[in-house]
């Protein structure tokens, strides 16, 4: 037989649930629209497409003309649609029942829009665990995409990775296509003729050799420099024409190749994602050590051979790295269990859809893009959870107070709730609130993020940008850029909680934290007993209607401070402002200090709500934005996570302080 190679190419389109409209519009103009318009011109060019359900719904609603093009390509057999979890969850971290409903929702959506029920599925972030096989197979999925790196980690020879393999779990079969890392780094970054020549080099005379590519469509226009490169300099056009003109490359669909070519044999893969994820998911110190091992192997010239065995962490490590992600994840699992326990007569589709949105992956982790560092992504998850919880409470009431170790950290959290408000206390040494949720506003004001040490901060600390040299363009993985000026103090990790009501005591000797040693719940109130040196402090939390009351009792001579971090949706945008003594001094992105203050308000006109704070004793109040530093495709950036307020009272002998925090809607106009 003459030499040939089958090109199996697919793209994955995704935008996080809750992303900004202007970001969606920009992504469409720079990527989705020109990509579809380009491939439409070449009916013989076969490709696969996966779009997350939320993005697909947005495109159907806002860009019907481009979706009409996609329908035409579906009708003429040019595009194969891939399924997945509808709202792009990591399947490995949700229950089997939710995997099934997410997969069914996506398949139903594709069948409704394009008259195709998918045979293949995209795995979010290519996170592989064997536990996902039964749900995929039970949902009618016959094959999924993973990286060739997954196979190499199991010891598979690289020369066998030009076709699909077969695995099984609990009696179910699933076939696995290995995505070529070499192609991932060439498309679209290498010149088009070089990419085509590389694909041609994979041809053999077996008739079954495949060049397999499936990666983010956003690399074709949204990543830095790619719009100019892919469309204005015609990279995509030149690549497609090169493929179609080739005498050895055959453009085909995955389902055709899967039907006609035999499996390369059985394989069992370890729990793994793509290689970069192994570094991202590690704590900073471990990630540095991992990078040292990679660099040492590179220096010795054995990296290509040994990298599958220099493996980092797994995706679930993000839930240990970021307690904020773990808390959201365990709250989501709790709501999933409540929903599953509903009598069938009470089950409604809107409840299932809210749970699916709460399982969207983006807000639970962080890599090259902002992820958990982006407040609007976390807010979208909490917004869905709180709407779901409110509706579940209307169907089946729950106690006003409860306790239990929901997040598996060895400490029983205390839940205090009304119809309007829920406060969750973590009774550790800070005895702070880790959640303060308003049900009418569907907003968790405790949804902030600590300042963590990240393994990439050493690049930011150097303050030196690094660009790309050579032909083609650089991957965002390889370039160092800065969106904001980063100072050393911006990179200092937090030593204490970023929750609400974290106390410190200052006397003539020093400033020290108030450390709480015991907490009890009595009559719906939570009482916490603490001490700072010889000074004793008691703290009592109560919730009634839309008001949280916090009583502080101190015995000593000095100053007692309490710090609150409040997650406000507009952050440092123009819709948020302080109201003090009837005036508006400024917005949440500014810093202020007021003395002898007993009341202030924080108004968020984007949210349509306000927080009123009142103290029975006058206090010195300092406010400032809480910022973190993270990386994204565009470079290092500072992001406002919360409004940080610190109340300080003078204490002389026994003193009783009460702070009332009330969440109210803003009046229209």
Give catalytic residue positions.
Answer: 125, 216
Helices 375-395 and 349-358, packing angle to 10 deg: 150
Q: Which residue has the tokens 């020109």?
A: 34
Contact 17, 362 (CB under 8 A): yes
Q: What is the largest CA-CA distance in the chain?
A: 95
Compute the distance between CA of residue 144 and CA of residue 133 in angstroms, rounded to an integer: 10
Whether the Cβ atoms of residue 400 and residue 417 lie closer than 8 Å to each other:
yes
> What token pair was written down for 79?
């595009």
| DSSP single-letter state for residue 122 | P
Question: CA–CA separation, 242 vs 469, rounded Å?
Answer: 25
Beta strands in 533-634 (DSSP E): 535-544, 547-566, 576-579, 592-604, 609-632
What phi and psi values does residue 620 have, to the nearest 5 degrees? Answer: -85, 125
CB neighbour burial string for 162-201, b if at least 16 within 10 angstroms, e if fewer = bbbbebebeeeebbbbbbbbbbbebbbbbbbeebbebbbe
**b/e code 277-296 from CB counts within 10 Å (16+ = b):** bbbbbbebebbeebbebbee
**Terminal-to-terminal C-alpha distance of the chain:** 76
Residue 549, classed as helix, strand or coil, is strand
**What gap in Å lies between CA 613 and CA 120, rounded to an integer?**
53
Whether the Cβ atoms of residue 248 and residue 3 lie closer than 8 Å to each other: yes
Which is nearest to 384 in space by CA: 359, 365, 404? Answer: 359
Residue 208 has φ and ψ, to the nearest 5°, of -125, 10
Burial class (CB within 10 angstroms; exposed 0-12, middle 13-18, buried 19+) of 266: exposed
The answer to whether residues 247 and 44 touch, using CB atoms and an 8 Å cutoff, is: no
Per the omega criterion (within 30 degrees of 0), is the bond before 188 cis?
Answer: yes
326 CB-side CA count, 13 A: 14
10 Å CB burial of residue 328 (0-12, 13-18, 19+) is buried
Measured at the CA of 494, the angle between CA 547 and CA 436, to 5 degrees, comes to 15
Which residues fall within 8 angstroms of residue 249, CB to CB, at 6 or more apart? Answer: 4, 5, 6, 7, 196, 199, 200, 203, 211, 243
CB 92 within 8 A of CB 62: no
Pairing of β 576-579 and β 592-604: antiparallel
Structure tokens at 154: 């199991």
DSSP SS3 for 430: coil
How do strand 165-169 and strand 210-216 relate by DSSP bridges?
unpaired
Nearest to 330 by CA among 428, 215, 408: 408
Contacts of 569 (CB under 8 A, 6+ apart): 375, 376, 379, 443, 604, 606, 607
Give the integer Cα–Cα distance in Å for 31 and 18. 19
């Amino acid at each position: 037989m003459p030499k040939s190679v089958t090109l199996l190419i697919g793209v994955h389109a995704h935008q996080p649930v809750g992303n900004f409209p202007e970001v969606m519009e920009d992504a469409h103009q720079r990527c989705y629209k020109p990509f579809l318009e380009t491939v439409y011109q070449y009916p013989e060019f076969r490709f696969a497409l996966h779009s997350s359900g939320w993005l697909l719904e947005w495109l159907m609603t806002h860009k019907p003309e481009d979706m009409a093009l996609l329908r035409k390509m579906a009708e003429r057999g040019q595009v194969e649609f891939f399924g997945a979890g509808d709202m792009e969850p990591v399947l490995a971290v949700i229950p089997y029942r939710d995997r099934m409903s997410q997969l069914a929702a996506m398949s139903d959506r594709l069948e409704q829009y394009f008259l195709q029920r998918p045979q293949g599925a995209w795995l979010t972030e290519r996170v592989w665990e064997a536990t996902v096989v039964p749900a995929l197979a039970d949902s009618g999925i016959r094959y999924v995409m993973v990286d060739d790196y997954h196979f190499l980690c199991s010891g598979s020879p690289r020369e066998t990775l030009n076709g699909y393999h077969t695995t099984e779990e609990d009696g179910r079969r699933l076939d696995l296509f290995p995505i070529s890392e070499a192609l991932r780094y060439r498309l679209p970054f290498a010149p088009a003729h070089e990419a085509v020549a590389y694909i041609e080099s994979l041809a053999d005379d077996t008739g079954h050799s495949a060049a397999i590519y499936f990666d983010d469509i956003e690399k074709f226009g949204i990543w830095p420099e790619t719009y100019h490169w892919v469309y204005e300099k015609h990279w995509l056009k030149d690549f497609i024409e090169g493929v179609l003109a080739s005498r050895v490359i055959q453009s085909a669909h995955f389902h055709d190749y899967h039907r006609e070519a035999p499996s390369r044999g059985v394989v069992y893969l370890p729990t793994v994602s793509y290689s970069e994820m192994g570094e991202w998911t590690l704590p900073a110190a471990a990630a540095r050590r991992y990078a040292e091992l990679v660099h040492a192997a590179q220096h010795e010239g054995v990296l290509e051979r040994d990298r599958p065995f220099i493996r980092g962490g797994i995706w679930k490590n993000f839930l240990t790295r970021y307690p904020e992600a773990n808390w959201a994840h365990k709250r989501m699992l709790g709501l999933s269990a409540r929903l599953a326990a509903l009598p069938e007569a009470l089950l409604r589709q809107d409840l299932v859809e809210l749970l699916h949105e709460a399982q969207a992956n983006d807000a639970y982790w962080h890599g090259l893009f902002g992820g958990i560092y982006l407040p609007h992504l976390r807010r979208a998850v909490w917004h869905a959870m709180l709407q779901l919880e409110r509706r579940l409470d209307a169907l089946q009431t729950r106690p006003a107070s409860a306790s239990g170790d929901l997040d598996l950290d060895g400490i029983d959290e205390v839940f205090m709730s009304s119809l309007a408000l829920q406060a969750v206390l973590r009774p550790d040494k800070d005895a702070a609130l880790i959640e303060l949720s308003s049900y009418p506003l569907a907003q968790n004001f405790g949804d902030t993020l600590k300042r963590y040490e990240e393994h990439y901060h050493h690049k930011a600390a150097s303050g030196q940008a690094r660009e790309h040299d050579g032909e083609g363009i650089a991957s965002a993985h390889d370039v160092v850029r800065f969106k904001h000026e980063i100072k050393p103090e911006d990179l200092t990790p937090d030593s204490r909680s970023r929750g609400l009501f974290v106390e410190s005591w200052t006397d003539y000797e020093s400033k020290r934290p108030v450390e709480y040693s015991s907490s009890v719940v009595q009559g719906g109130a939570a009482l916490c007993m603490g001490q700072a040196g010889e000074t004793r402090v008691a703290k009592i939390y109560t919730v009634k209607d839309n008001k949280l009351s916090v009583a502080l009792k101190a015995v000593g001579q000095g100053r007692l401070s309490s710090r609150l971090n409040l997650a406000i949706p507009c952050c440092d945008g123009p819709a948020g402002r302080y109201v003090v003594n009837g005036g508006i001094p400024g917005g949440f992105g500014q810093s202020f200090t007021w003395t002898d203050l007993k009341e202030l308000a924080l108004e968020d006109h984007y949210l349509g709500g306000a927080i009123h704070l009142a103290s029975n004793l006058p206090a010195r109040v300092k406010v400032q934005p809480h910022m973190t530093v993270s990386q994204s495709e565009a470079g290092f950036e500072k992001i406002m996570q919360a409004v940080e307020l610190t109340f300080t009272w003078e204490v002389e002998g026994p003193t009783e302080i009460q702070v009332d925090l009330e969440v109210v809607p803003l009046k229209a106009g």
